[in-house]
Chain A
Amino acid sequence: MQVFLVEDSAPVRERLTEMLQGLPDTQVLGHAAEADGAIREILAGAPDVVLLDISLAAGSGFDVLRAVRPQAPQIEFYLLSNYAAFPYRQLAETLGARGFFDKSKELERVREVFAERAARPGGPSA
């Protein structure tokens, strides 16, 4: 499973990478801290899954969703954010995200969901 990481905080990014690399059959393809760079690299690298923060160094995770989803609907997006109030979750769902994790309270769930996803060969589109 190829994962692309969109996260502007270096300490968080490092720990997430470490956590994801520890999952079986999972590689972190790359990462970006800004919306524009993320859109470019996701479309170029075509990962299976994107783990996406909402608040970025420039732009927002929603911008990335809006730009990428119509062009690459097969890529699965999971949001991981400290902006976890219901309206944010609702918007993420509307824009086609498959999951949403509270960055401070649902970190354990990320590992569970991603491990499960990695174990499913080929993903949902396959």
Chain B
Amino acid sequence: MIGAGGAALFALAAANVIAFMRGMDAPWLLGVAIISDMVVIGAGIVVAAREVLIAEERTEASQARLSAIVDSAMDAIITVDENQRIVLFNRAAEKLLQCARGEALGTPLERFIPERFRAAHGGHVERFATTGVSSRRMGDVTTLWALRTDGEEVPIEASISQVAEGGRQLYTVILRDISLRLQAQKESERMRRALDATQARLAAIVDSAMDAIISVDEEQKIVLFNRAAEQLFRVERDAMLGASLDRLLPARFRGAHRGHVGEFGRTGITSRRMGDVTTLWALRPGTEEEFPIEASISQVVEGGRRYFTVILRDITLRKQAEDALVASQREARELSARVLEAREDEKARIARELHDELGQLLTALKMDLSWLRERVVEGEAAPRLEEMGRLLDQTVSSTRRISADLRPLMLDDLGLADAASWLVDDFGKRYGIASRIDIAADGGLEHLSKNISTTVYRAIQESLTNIARHSGAKNAWVMLAADDGSLEVEVEDDGRGIAPDDLAKARSLGLKGMRERIAFIGGSFEVARAPRGGTRLRIRVPL
């Protein structure tokens, strides 16, 4: 029979175990729980044993119950007498020390102590006996080791208790194998070291990065400022840590910047490029010196606080190169436009001279021929004069065609609407492609600048040429419309349709030239497949 004291102590032990299982977060707490647990269990067993011993041999039943309890304990329990001979050896002890109970009982405890500890152990036990303390933890600081029968040593945790009973001094040791715990401790230490090393490495990387790296907290206070940032902003890290990021921004951007960062924080996106389109500017603190930068921002929440990290790079040189490139591109475009314009002027001059000078002379010749033919109606000269008339007519036609191909003089004489109509009409006749033009202008086409009308006319001409060469179309449609602010042109066909690749090919130099010329007068240009098949070209030019 186990007394009320024993039961209470067991309950306390159980409560300790539960508490330990609930809160695994602190290793030292675990240690305390285990030790107090073992002490309590140990005390419980001692009390129980005493109560049982009081009723010694009174009943066989109580004896059996005690050994059942001891046997079912998770920890190894070994009781020795004053001669250190084993009198109790439970099942957990059998397992821990790899020794059957029958083999252990009556043998000295020493056999389970590694040889190097044996002398010290004897002394410890004697001192413990003289203190009269009923229980304490063994090996307060160092790890204790037990020796198994197979010669292997096991790290253990142990407590000892003593009780004097009927003139006999009994010592009970409760042992637990802590090899797994030791291993876990070692592992966690290794991980901590690895983490420390990673952090150190990371810090070194951040500091050696070519780009400036700056972290701020939610209040825009700087918490990290690497070496590249020091060099870029020409300021010491210590002067910037804790300072507001505003000091690195030109005043005119500060308000907007806060808004952007706040918005970025709300999106929850981890990182993105800053200032997607416009150039960002940074300020050297304490100066008026600004420089263009490229930057990306990332955010992370640590311990409930949000941190933003900006990685930035000075792009002064690149920006200069870009600006120079843009300027030279603009110059090249202007030059090419001027060259084109000069070519147009030259062509117009030659066309006009061909048409007028040569045309007048041919007219005079025709009149003379006609005079001659009236007077020479017979003889062999007559058919020759007839033949001359035909040749003259061919010469007139050729001259007009060459002139028109060089420059449609109609464009200068009558304007875009007439010239385009004539062009589309002539195209249809020349290539056998049914071609129509719709003009919805209401006078909007009458006072176009020469540059615009030439560009638009040439674009229509180029498109029609492409249709004749590549499309295999049966029909072509041209639409010309003008309103207050803009001129719109569409050229569409029902041919096989332009492939996207064709637009990039060198063959479409004509398309590229068209795009260039239209861009130069501020217009937009778009080539795509038409909804009903074929190709559709759309041009919009501001007036």
Interface residues of A (CB under 8 A from B): 9, 11-12, 15-16, 19, 54-55, 60, 82-83, 85-88, 91, 103-105, 107-108
Name the A residues within 8 Å of B396 (CB-CB). Answer: 104-105
Whether A11 contacts B410 in the complex (CB less than 8 A), given A82-B355, A104-B366, comes out as no
The answer to whether A103 and B363 touch (CB under 8 A), given A82-B355, A82-B356, A82-B400, is yes
Q: Contacts of B292 on A, CB cut-off 8 Å?
A: none
Which of B142-150, B414-422, B484-492 faces chain A? B414-422
In-complex Cβ contact of A9 among B364, B410, B421 (8 A): B364
Q: A9-B360, A82-B400, A85-B410 are in contact. Are A107 and B418 (CB under 8 A)?
A: no
Q: Apart from A12-B360, A86-B422, what 11 extra A-B contacts exist at CB < 8 Å?
A: A9-B361, A54-B413, A83-B413, A85-B410, A87-B410, A87-B414, A88-B410, A88-B414, A91-B414, A91-B418, A107-B367
Tell yes or no: B368 within 8 A of A by CB. yes
- Give the tally of cross-chain contacts (CB within 8 A): 61
Decide if A87 touches B367 in the complex (CB within 8 Å). Answer: no
Residues in B with CB closer than 8 Å to A60 are: 413
Nearest CB in chain B to that of A56: its residue: B356
Q: Complex: how many Å from CA A85 to CA B418?
A: 10
Contact between chains at A55 and B356 (CB < 8 Å): yes
Known contacts A82-B400, A104-B359; is-contact A87 B421 (Cβ 8 Å)? yes
Residues of A with C-beta under 8 A to B414? 87-88, 91
- Interface contact B393-A15, CB-CB below 8 Å: no
The reply to whether A103 and B422 contact each other, CB–CB distance below 8 Å, is no
Chain A to chain B: the 9 pairs with minimum beta-carbon distance, closest first? A9-B360, A87-B418, A11-B364, A82-B359, A104-B396, A15-B367, A103-B363, A12-B364, A87-B414
Q: Which residues of B contact A86 (CB under 8 A)?
A: 422, 425
Say whether B107 faces chain A, with CB atoms less than 8 Å apart. Answer: no
Note all chain B residues with C-beta closer than 8 A to A12. Answer: 360, 363-364, 367
Contact (Cβ within 8 A) B413 A88: yes
The residue on B at minimum CB distance from A16 is: B367
B contacts with A, residue count (CB < 8 A): 25
Q: List 30 A-B contacts (CB under 8 A).
A: A9-B360, A9-B361, A9-B363, A11-B361, A11-B364, A12-B360, A12-B364, A15-B364, A15-B367, A15-B368, A15-B371, A16-B367, A55-B355, A55-B356, A82-B360, A83-B355, A83-B409, A86-B422, A87-B419, A87-B421, A87-B422, A88-B410, A91-B414, A104-B359, A104-B362, A104-B363, A104-B396, A105-B393, A107-B363, A107-B367
Q: B468-495 toward A: CB 8 Å interface, digit per residue (1/0)?
A: 0000000000000000000000000000
A88 to B356, CA, bound (A): 15
Cβ-defined partner of A19 (8 Å) among B356, B360, B367, B400: B367
Task: Tell me which residues from 403 to 457 in chain B have a Cβ below 8 Å from any Cβ of chain A.
Answer: 409-410, 413-414, 418-419, 421-422, 425
Which residues of B are found within 8 Å of A9, using beta-carbon distances? Answer: 360-361, 363-364
| Contact A85:B422 (CB < 8 A) given known A19-B367, A104-B366, A105-B393 | yes
Tell me how far the C-beta of B148 lies from the nearest C-beta in chain A, rounded to whole angstroms: 116
B370 part of interface (Cβ distance < 8 Å): yes
B403 → chain A, closest Cβ, in Å?
9
